[in-house]
Copies of this chain bind each other. A is one copy, B any other.
Amino acid sequence: MNQKYHARIYVTLRPSVLDPAGTAVQSGLAHMGYTDVESVRIGKYIEVNLNAADETQARSQLDLMCDQLLANPVIENYRIELGEGS
């Protein structure tokens, strides 16, 4: 448990799921004059600092956290980038 890791987690809606917030932002941008925007999708970006024995353990912990709390696997995908923390 003595190694520190820094994880960046990207949670995005699955492509088949409608994104009303993204559509609202696109519409807002169009009203502001940004008419060249074709689509906007909004997701979450989560930074986690954690301690783990090794990278494999850190990654498996993060996978579990995403499945159980950080993402909704029914409608969302997630991607984890793991690096060493300071």
Contact = CB atoms under 8 A, between A and B. Distances in A.
A38 B39 CA distance: 36
Contacts of A47: 12, 39-43
A38 B7 CA distance: 11
B48 A37 contact: yes
A72 to B, nearest CB: 14
Count the copies. 2
Q: Which of A4, A22, A28, A40 has the most CB of B within 10 A?
A: A40
Nearest to A12: B45
B43 A42 contact: no
A65 to B, nearest CB: 6
Interface of A: 1, 4, 10-12, 22, 25, 28-29, 32, 34, 36-52, 61, 64-65, 68-70
